[in-house]
Amino acid sequence: MPVKIDSSRCTGCKLCVESCPEDVFRLVPNSKVPRVARPDECFHCGACVMDCPEQCIHLILPLPLKPRFIEKKVFNEISGRSPEKK
């Protein structure tokens, strides 16, 4: 499932429902948390993630969309390695 909603953080503002261009979310009667009703329609635009004021929506990118490399400088900073000498 490409989109997950953290129901413990969701306040029910419905901005995700309004911002999604593909109508992936549906309102559920008697629940403040929307449901991911059409996960296959999500094309990972991130509109719901950007609009969520509570940051409770997590977008799970499929493998082909994940970054395949990282710059050596960034890797060294993250891993704590010292830069190679030339």
Q: Could you tell me if residue 28 is inside a domain? A: yes
Measured CA to CA, the distance from residue 78 to residue 62 in angstroms comes to 23
Tell me the Cα Rg of the chain: 18
Q: Could you tell me if residue 31 is inside a domain? A: yes
Q: Could you tell me if residue 72 is inside a domain? A: no
Q: Could you tell me if residue 47 is inside a domain? A: yes
Q: Could you tell me if residue 48 is inside a domain? A: yes
For the CA atoms of 32, 37, 41, 44, the dihedral, rounded to the nearest 10 degrees, stands at: 40
Predicted local distance difference test score (pLDDT) of residue 60: 85
Total count of domains within the chain = 1
Nearest of 59, 27, 26, 28 to residue 42 by alpha carbon: 59
Q: Which residue reads 């050596």 in tokens?
A: 72
- Residues across the chain: 86
Predicted local distance difference test score (pLDDT) of residue 69: 61
CATH code for position 12: 3.30.70.20
User: For the chain, which ranges sit under pLDDT 70?
Assistant: 1, 65-71, 81-86
- Each residue of 33-56: pLDDT tens digit? 999 999 999 988 899 999 999 999
Domain with 19 in it: 3-61
* 3-class state of residue 64 by DSSP: helix
